[in-house]
């Protein structure tokens, strides 16, 4: 009965994940003080170099992402690192690379009322200060709370993201690198970074004169192809409908994730489709060692989220070191986290012990 209840909650979570807030409030009370980027860069540089060298020495190249330092286990910065930095902004993603030591930037894409593609998890804008809109997000009227309630001109240079867990939007610094970003601008700023891009629920909506899902997916893919972005990009969605529409138009040019139901089928199937990666919860029911080994035999990879949603508690709230080490021991190819710097330190220590290095 417990397993059935867990699976039911998991199904509900996958259905409701697009309504999640900026960060998991359960984590906020336990976050350590933020380290300034300048100090952290100085402290971390030698550690980052040692971490990358140790993975190269291990010699286990990631089968999906190419590049000179793409050795497993990879570190994905979820929203840039939403519990350590200003999520989904230029500032946040630079922190993820320069301080967190992330290998892959994980980002989400939503669509505004006038059809522009914006880097944002959302769809709510509760942790964003917007000129001309009540700074108390709870007092914002219906029709002014979600990203699809705004045209881009109302947000462009007029919307700044708050620090993690901040409740007072009136004090958000109006710094350029805290602004909301168009996807096209993000791809220009981070053209050399490997990416994992999730298409969110607004892709199903008729916005900006487009008729809905098919038009949105086609316009989204055109932005990707027009960008001078060279490293690997994985395209993901929790929605079977959205992912199917993308695959139909794309023709497997970009690797994609498995939907939840495809993950269930994966347990009994004998083969793994090409150009597919397993991106899933850290729960053993979805990312057990047998599944991970099946992905390896098919020259694919398993990347697990240790962030929380629904009933699934985050392993990166209080940094459950034992849980993270257990995942690494299973053989996961990458970990997606809201706390890249803290998790990378644990990954480094685990790898040192595994390789017998002091």
Tell me the pLDDT tens digit for each residue of 208-228: 999 999 999 999 999 999 998
Residue 345: phi and psi, rounded to 5, are -65, -40
* Residue ranges of domains in the chain, CATH in brackets: 2-121+180-354 (3.20.20.190)
| pTM as predicted | 0.93
Q: CB neighbours (10 Å) of residue 241?
A: 12
Q: In a 3-state reduction of DSSP, which class is residue 258?
A: coil
Indicate whether 16 pLDDT > 60: no
Indicate whether 33 pLDDT > 70: no
Q: Calculate mean pLDDT across residues 280-303.
A: 95
Indicate whether 37 pLDDT > 80: no
pLDDT at residue 7 in the model: 52
Q: How confident is the model at residue 64 (pLDDT cuts 50, 70, 90)?
A: very high
Structure tokens at 67: 């590049």
Tell whether omega for the bond before 73 is within 30 degrees of 0, i.e. cis.
yes
Q: Worst-scoring range by mean pLDDT, 16-30, 148-162, 235-249?
A: 16-30
Q: What rounded mean pLDDT belongs to the chain? A: 89
Q: Which residues on neighbouring strands pair with residue 128, listed in sequence order?
A: 161
The percent of residues above 70 in pLDDT, for the chain, comes to 88
pLDDT at residue 17 in the model: 44
Q: How confident is the model at residue 22 (pLDDT cuts 50, 70, 90)?
A: low
């Amino acid at each position: 009965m417990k397993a059935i209840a867990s699976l039911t909650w998991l199904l509900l979570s996958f259905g409701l994940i697009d309504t999640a807030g900026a960060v998991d409030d359960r984590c906020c009370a336990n976050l350590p003080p933020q380290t300034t980027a300048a100090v952290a860069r100085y402290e971390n540089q030698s550690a980052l170099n040692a971490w990358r060298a140790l993975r190269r020495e291990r010699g286990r190249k990631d089968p999906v992402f190419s590049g000179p330092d793409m050795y497993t286990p990879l570190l994905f910065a979820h929203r840039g690192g939403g519990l350590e930095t200003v999520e989904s902004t230029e500032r946040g993603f630079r922190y993820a690379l320069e301080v967190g030591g992330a290998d892959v930037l994980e980002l989400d894409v939503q669509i505004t009322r006038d059809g522009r593609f914006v880097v944002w998890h959302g769809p709510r804008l509760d942790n964003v200060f917007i000129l001309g809109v009540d700074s108390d997000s709870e007092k914002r009227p219906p029709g002014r709370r979600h990203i699809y309630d705004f045209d881009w001109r109302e947000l462009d240079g007029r919307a700044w993201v708050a620090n993690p867990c901040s409740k007072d939007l009136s004090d958000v610094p109006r710094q350029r690198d805290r602004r909301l970003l168009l996807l096209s601008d993000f791809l220009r700023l981070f053209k050399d970074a490997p990416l994992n891009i999730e298409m969110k629920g607004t892709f199903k909506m008729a916005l900006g004169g487009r008729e809905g899902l098919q038009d949105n997916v086609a316009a989204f893919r055109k932005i990707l192809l027009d960008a001078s972005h060279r490293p690997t990009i994985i395209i993901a969605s929790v929605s079977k409908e959205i992912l199917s529409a993308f695959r139909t138009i794309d023709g497997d040019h970009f690797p994609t994730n498995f939907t939840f139901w495809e993950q269930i089928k994966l347990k009994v199937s004998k083969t793994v489709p090409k150009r597919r990666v397993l991106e899933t919860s850290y729960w053993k029911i979805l990312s057990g060692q047998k599944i991970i080994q099946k992905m390896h035999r098919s020259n694919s990879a398993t990347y697990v989220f240790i962030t929380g949603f629904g009933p699934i508690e985050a392993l990166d709230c209080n940094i459950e070191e034992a849980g993270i080490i257990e995942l690494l021991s299973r053989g996961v190819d990458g970990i997606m986290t809201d706390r890249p710097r803290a998790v990378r330190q644990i990954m480094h220590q685990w790898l040192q012990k595994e390789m017998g290095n002091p």
